[in-house]
Amino acid sequence: MSNIQVNLSKTRADMEKVGITDNIRLAEDDSHIIIIDQVKLPSVLEYKKIEDLESAYQAIKKLEIRGAPAIGIFAGYAMFMLAKKDEDLPFEEYCEHFRQNKEYLYSSRPTAVNLGWALKRMERVVEENKDKSVKEINDLLKKEAIAIHNEDIEMCLKICEYGLSLLKDGDGVLTHCNAGPLATSYGTAQGPFLLAKARGMNIRVFADETRPLLQGARLTSFELSRAGVDVTLICDNMASIVMKNGWINACFVGCDRIAANGDFANKIGTSGVAILAKHYGIPVYSLGPTSTIDMDCPDGDHIKIELRDPEEIKNMWYERPMAPAEVKCYNPSFDVTDHELLSGIVTEKGIVYPPFDVNLKKLFDEEN
């Protein structure tokens, strides 16, 4: 474990110099949630209202809201919003609705551990306050949802500082998928690049386009270029040549679930990046909050991989179909990177180094 001192106020002020976007917020009257529809970026910056269970489910399923921490924040607000709408129900019916809403939302993207983590956290509020009125429980649910959001802000700021400590001026970094402010509050894997920019450091970023929804092309390059970061977009199959050219000093990627042994799930293609980096002797770091670490999951073989609609490959990004209508497609959303390919896990509590099975356990033992 590596730790550094973090001045949260200074870090936050520095990050706000580069234009952090408020991508999730609860309406003032608690009736709905407002999100940036990430599917429409970068061509259209559109704020969308989420007002009921089905729109909340579809927002997660369709990746209108995405990124493990952002999904957790959204889930907290969604459970409160839905509970608020049930405030006039009898207590038993209220609890049954709450349970059904939780299970339905969880089915939208089970790979992202933050979704289940946030849903269970909100459920615990209900279970531990059954002696209170429904209104009182809802007041506590709102406080918990806000706490989840505020905690993510603090975690992101610390992760940004720890991540930046691994870089020096002039470094080139390859990143995969999107783990910036849109996917979190201030950013995990992309956050250090923004912080470097705010502090006058020159970090050259190579962003993979990233299937299945081109989040690197649409979102990472959008966020970084708007902040003035030196970013170059490459196709996923170009990672090898930029490494061979000596342009990459490190790889920073996010994570949707980290197993107890350090294996981790991230957007499809991350494993390939790590294998290439191993060949070229380039360190690979996964950056994410400790809420993304699932100590009940022993290894990557136990991480469920979500399969997406094959039509995304054949039709989604093209004016005309790009493949024969009858051809089969395999379209996994994530892959699992073996812990042996990983140099370190950057969390809000510090940088965890191998052996991960020992040091991740130690990280959580220290909390208890």
Active site residues: 256
- Position of tokens 């949630």? 33
Pairing of the two strands 172-176 and 250-253: parallel
- Would you give the DSSP letter of residue 237? G
In 3D, which of 177, 201, 214, 188 has the Cα closest to residue 249?
201
Contact yes or no for 348/154 (Cβ under 8 A): yes
Token digits for 4?
């550094």
Given the structure tokens 């107890």, which residue do they identify? 260
Task: Give 47: exposed, middle or buried? Use CB within 10 Å, 0-12, 13-18, 19+.
Answer: exposed
Of 255, 261, 293, whose CA–CA distance to 273 is shortest?
A: 255
| Residue showing tokens 């090898």 | 240
**Identity at 314, one-letter amino acid code:** K
Question: What is the phi/psi pair of residue 258, to 5°?
Answer: -115, 125
**173, 196 Cβ separation under 8 angstroms:** no
Q: How far is CA 280 from CA 204, 205, 277, 337, in A?
A: 18, 18, 5, 17
Residue pair 287/188 in contact by the 8 Å Cβ criterion? yes
